[in-house]
Amino acid sequence: MSPKSKKNYERMRQKRLSSKKRKDQQKKAKTEIPVNQPDDLKEIRFKYPHLEFLLEMGPLIPAEIHVPKAIADEIIANGGTAPPPVKGSMIIDTGAMVTSVADHVVKALNLNPTSTVLVHGFHGSQEVFKYFVTVVVVGENVRFMATGNLASCNLRNEMFEYYEKQGISIIGLLGRDFFKDKTLICDFIKNSVTIRYHPK
């Protein structure tokens, strides 16, 4: 092979390697969930535009629900495309024993149920499916991520239709299990909500 041919061959090889590296980086980026969650996380703060919002809508928590990274990686490895996260708000529901994700969210993420659980509410007890999801809570100061097996819930009723009319998409409920090691502060003077962590 002539020096010129060798040089052309090497240039083509480097170009292919560069292209492969770029594609690998793009694949990796699709499965990474951007979170700035410090190891010593102490609190997450949420600020609302005005007092009327907090009074009328209640303490809504901005959030995203993702396909867990392990599942997203498997989908991509099999030649598919991982569904984009579903963004919206979660309602703080101290009347709910468990944190749950809305039915329409798991449908959008094309998730399969992992098990069932019996949940109790004002309308009695009901067995529902559980799904493995990643929840990213989007605070004013930090993004907090947690992955777990959450119950599904049907949010199709008058209250949630009211939220939709206000342009607010409710994607789940934060139940008492979420707050078991936390302090919840609703400050109606400062139009803010703070969730403080007390790690064991």
C-alpha dihedral (152, 158, 160, 164), degrees to nearest 10:
140
Query: What tens digit of pLDDT does each residue of 136-193 get?
Result: 999 988 888 888 888 888 877 777 888 888 888 999 999 888 888 889 999 888 889 9
Query: What tens digit of pLDDT does each residue of 12-31 get?
Result: 655 555 555 444 544 444 45
pLDDT at 22: 44
| Burial class of residue 7 (count of CB atoms within 10 Å of its CB; 0-12, 13-18, 19+) | exposed
pTM for this one? 0.76
Query: What tens digit of pLDDT does each residue of 1-13 get?
Result: 555 555 555 666 5
Query: What tens digit of pLDDT does each residue of 37-69 get?
Result: 666 778 889 988 777 777 888 889 999 999 998
CA distance 196 to 200: 13
